[in-house]
Structure 1
Amino acid sequence: MKTPVFTGTCTALITPFLPSGAIDYETFARQIDRQLEFGVDALCVCGTTGESATLTTEEHVKLVDYCVAHVAGQCKILAGSGSNSTETALYLCQHAQESGADALLLVTPYYNKTTQSGLVHHYEYLADQTDLPIILYNVPSRTGLSFTAETYQILSQHPRINGIKEASGNFSLLVETMAYCGDELNIWSGNDDQTLPMLALGAKGLISVVSNLVPEPMAELTHSFFRGDWEEAKELQLSYLPLMQALFFQVNPIPIKAAMAALGLDSGVLRPPLWKMDKGPRRELMETLRAFDLLSE
């Protein structure tokens, strides 16, 4: 049995950029403090929501360093360290370990992709070169590549491969993986709108986009489940569903940054090729924020 890196809710942090294009570290610090104030269990830095694909290597490692230093042990830190190059991923993994991160979040190789055998070699190689627990990240809508349950079973046998952020939306894969791997591979929901069904199947929590905006209810969603209050967890899952959907009207993190800016929460600009929300989806997002009494104008 593998002890999960964290149990509960982890916020996949946005990265605030200044109009000049530089990272706004003062704003980033305020974001971190707000998350800690509202009781999240972990933070993920340099993930998809953090626009990691447009970070330079220098920016990436500095951002991980800053996050670890600022949190100073108040919660777990997951460092996004994946790449479509195994050697680049290795560099990011080794740096994250040196920085003091608690775990590595490793997305499947994207664009060039690989075979299932290639996935096994990629992850086993990285796991052999680090002392940190690894969370695999399955998001085929972005990468064009998904794990199979058989591959998960093979990788679950490595002592440092701790679990999966499952964002495929494929419940058949989820159930098959749990049947194959049991307690040797922890699972976290990578989709806010599927959190409670995954918890009911045995997931250990959520890695959330929505908690950037509303950390308290997203933390309470998982906390209420684990203390046995299923009705409260169900109420939170269902009542916040329209907001979860609205924050994906366009590709993440475009809507979450727009929503945070509308609420006066510093979010910074997007890095191209990401662009501001189109008028129609933005109008619908603002209407949803008003419906939740988050926006008064």
Structure 2
Amino acid sequence: MKNNNPYKGVIVPMVSPLNDDFSIDQAAVGRVVENFLKYDVAPFIAGTTGEASSLSFQQKKDLVKATVNVAKGKAVIYAGIASNCLPDTIEMAHAFADMGADVVVANLPSYYPITHAQAAKYCLKLADVSPVPLIFYNITATTGYSIPLELMEKLSYHPNIAGLKDSERDEERLDQALKLWKDREDFVHLIGWAAMSGYALKNGSDGIVPSTGNFTPELYADLYKQALNGNWQQVEELQQLTNRLGALYQKDRTLAESLAALKVVMNECGLCGTQVMPPIYRMDELSEEAFRSEANSCLSNSRL
């Protein structure tokens, strides 16, 4: 972990709170972000957990505005700019930077299969024109493309590329990435595989990006603090607890289904409503009722 690089710590991929008409619920954004700030946790908005691929440009601008209103100057604000259209991605980068985002985050386009040479050109073009530091986001599960570490190593020396957020579930890849970048003060590695948060921190990762932190930011803040202090037994205990909480809404569900379930958990915590963007839909009434009972039990046990 770096001492002088600001892009580190606990960075939660924030849900996008929605009203029933699909507009951004700005009051709920405020509640969620304020809950992050209590524990020195940073928001990453308009990412996978934030249903970014389904949000309009206006919804994203409203989300950025609501987040900046609460968090500017109190936490680093990470804003997703991913799109299958490069001009749209560039436009979002400029718009969100102008609105107060500190860092922009982009994954590779996800419709056409791309070669490594095409990926390199895309990344360089975006990095050359981004008005703020850029972090690339590797999430093979949704893009169908795994950014090679060799390519990322070459890109890492670009002055505007600040780091990699990697959500690929590959322990060998993780070890290789940490070997490459754990001692690089100018480039950060952020782990998006929440179940490996403690392992990654112990071996040199700079930050963790756990979706479960949407309703338990305090647990991940404690996990990170214990890791900084080298208290690895406490880290392991917190890892197991957060893994159980993650399984609450993720186990036996697709990614889309898990995001709908996550908003039900957050609703139980008084943070936001349950509306989601199509093609994701709310849980049916009977399933939601049963899940709320399960969630309440799990949340109560986690606070004992």
Using structure 2 for the length normalisation, give the TM-score.
0.89
Equivalent of 2:242 in 237, 240, 243:
240
Residue 291 (1) aligns with residue 295 (2): no
Structure 2 counterpart of 1:94: 94
Specify every segment of 5 or more residues in structure 2 that has no aligned partner in the other structure, as ranges.
none
**Gapped regions of structure 1 (runs ≥ 5):** none
* Change beyond 3 A, Cα 1:158–1:111: same
2:108–2:119 CA contact under 8 A, matched in 1: yes
Q: CA deviation at 1:70?
A: 2.3
CA distance in 2, matches of 1:292, 1:70: 26
1:189-240 deviations in Å (ceiling 9; x for gaps)? 1122110111122111111211111111111111210122222111100122
Which amino acid in structure 2 is aligned with residue 263 of structure 1?
A: C
Which whole-Å CA distance do the structure 2 matches of 1:133 and 1:68 have between them? 17
1:258 is aligned to 264
Structure 2 equivalent of residue 25 of structure 1: 26
Identity of aligned residues (%): 24
Give the letter for the 2:266 counterpart.
M
Question: Which position in structure 2 is the counterpart of 1:171?
Answer: 171
Offset at 1:63? 1.9
- How far apart are the structure 2 equivalents of 1:173 and 1:285? 37
The offset of 1:81, in angstroms, is 0.8
Q: Identify the residue that residue 81 of structure 1 maps to in structure 2.
A: 81
TM-score (norm 1): 0.91
Tell which deviates more after alignment, 255-264 or 8-17.
255-264
What is the CA distance between 1:287 and its match in structure 2?
2.5
C-alpha distance 131-264 of structure 1, shift in aligned 2 (>3 A):
closer
RMSD: 2.4
CA contact (8 A) 1:156 1:162 kept: yes
Q: Which residue type is aligned with residue 235 of structure 1?
A: E
Q: Distance in 2 between matches of 1:70 and 1:34?
A: 11
Closer, same or farther in 2 for the Cα pair 1:263/1:294, shift >3 Å?
farther
Counterparts of 1:1-297 in structure 2, within 5 Å, are 4-40=5-41, 42-181=42-181, 183=184, 185-249=187-251, 250=253, 251=255, 252-277=258-283, 283=290, 286-287=293-294, 289-293=296-300
